[in-house]
Structure 1
């Protein structure tokens, strides 16, 4: 897609950090940047413009303009060569940004915004968009190591194919290596066909591990051929997926996961692994939904 990179801003420190990341992402892609602020007047449907219910000079509009102006200035100082536009839209942030994602190639948000509940590690806007955004969502959290790899969580599912493509593209844009991690346990691995009819549930030692190694290699094969400039490291981990990805995110510049993967419950739009890394990863997280209709 050739649309802009969209970043949601609310004046919080988290959203300003997201603006800087979004500006860099737009520069990498040769795309424009759209700074979006969703405006809701608590308890009243009052327009941003001057109205009989507010000061004649439109104090609300001044606050919004200052907020958006600061974000645009931050974007231009980060990436002076990027074309920066803005939009102030009446509506709830999740609704506005979901609509904005329809013509964007990437939506960027901070992990927490203004009004977040104390104790929550990631805001409701980020979680909602991870499940509903039409394009990939980048949630800025933790500390990105610009010298580290792009980290990809692979589970071999059809819905995860888009995440694999996105991760290779990101690694190519950043001129970074790609570390592909596949974690498995005896409880989530698909059992191979038994070799001995007398022991239908027995498998030779190491056979499950070999199967999971093959699953990872097959998930990456075509992408490696299409992106020969990306150095790829395979990492198959016998253990929990959430724990493996969170630990591997130390020292990474970006973690990429699918919105839902193998073993997810039908009807859920965001899987437990995606939610876990949104809350606990040590670097920014990109959540990529499958193709339209793959829920």
Structure 2
């Protein structure tokens, strides 16, 4: 059985843009595409049919059918060979899409929805899914540049799956991969001296060299697994969030782990992934990890 890509729709322009991205992702993967709308109104006992005084095509249920038909049509126009189905699931979007993520290999959502407040750059649905979804979540923000895939590397065990996802995505899209590691003396672990008289300071350049080694070690084995992916390694001394946001200007996708080195125990979504969801200039894929490679 082929894999499954799920996209959440609510009739907004953002969700229709997400449908197009999801259709391309399904095409690249040879996967099925499911267009899902979370229909919250039945649970609130709101009348779903047309008003007796209104046109027969009115009402919430007919509105939902129209927006799903538009989404399916949009997906079929982008990737006509992809098998597309649709589902209307009673419930609120967070719960519905989290449940859908258990059987999907990728969930795609827009950056804003019909219920977004003015000025809110990333809907709560995307942030919630990035923290709780059972598969990678791709949040579609601004139109992507025709550039590489940018992979945020921090060397943590939790970031292993993000590395795997980024290499696989670069291979599917046939584009270069920029593996980017940003570091400062504040987010680099301090070595424990062997004796009380040992200095804490390292020789000039030693710390930068260690961070470069960390980057290469984090990518170990992937070059052999994906020999056709052109990889550029880049270490930057600077704040991780600002460095990745700037790199997103010329990227077609940024891939980041949900949490990484320095995260607090129990925190499901790290500050870097959260910042990218709000401020990146291209789509962002957040990949949760367990520290176990698959």
Q: TM-score range by the shorter chain?
A: over 0.9
Instruction: Report matched runs for 1:28-47 at 5 Å.
Output: 28-41=28-41, 44-46=44-46
**More deviation in 39-48 or 117-126?**
39-48
Given the alignment of the two structures, is residue 105 of structure 1 paired with residue 100 of structure 2, yes or no? Answer: no
Which consecutive residues of structure 2, in runs of 5 or more, have no partner in the other structure? none
Three-state SS of the structure 1 residue aligned to 2:254 is strand
Give the match for residue 80 of structure 2: 80
User: C-alpha distance in 1, partners of 2:141/2:269?
Assistant: 18
Counterpart residue number, 1:96: 96
Distance 1:179 1:115 in 2: 35
Change (3 A) 1:293 1:229: closer
The 5 A counterparts of 1:145-156 are: 145-146=145-146, 148-156=147-155
Q: Kindly provide the CA deviation profile for residues 17-54 of structure 1, in whole angstroms up to 9, marking residues without a partner as x.
A: 000000000000000100000011288234756899x9
Within 5 A, what are the aligned runs for 1:84-233? 84-146=84-146, 148-192=147-191, 198-233=197-232
Deviations 1:149-183 (A, max 9, x none): 01000000001000000000000000000000101
The aligned counterpart of 1:279 is 278
Provide closer, same or farther for how the CA distance between residues 195 and 149 of structure 1 changes in structure 2, counting only shifts above 3 A: farther
Q: Normalising to structure 2: TM-score of the pair?
A: 0.93
Cα-Cα RMSD: 2.4
Q: CA deviation at 1:143?
A: 2.2
* Mapped contact 1:194–1:202 kept (Cα < 8 A): no
Asked if the contact 1:2–1:105 (Cα under 8 Å) also holds between the matched residues in 2, the reply is no
In the other structure, the counterpart of 1:22 is: 22
| Structure 1 residues 214 and 196: alpha-carbon distance in aligned structure 2, compared to 1, 3 A threshold | farther
Does the aligned pair in 2 maintain the 1:154–1:216 contact within 8 Å?
A: yes
Measured against aligned partners, the alpha-carbon deviations of 1:182-236 in whole angstroms (never above 9, x if no partner) come to 0110011123466997442121011111110000000001112211111110110
> What is the distance in 2 between the residues matched to 1:100 and 1:293?
23
Q: Is 1:145–1:251's contact at 8 Å kept on the other side of the alignment?
A: yes
The answer on whether the counterparts of 1:192 and 1:208 sit within 8 Å (CA) in structure 2 is no
TM-score by length of 1: 0.93
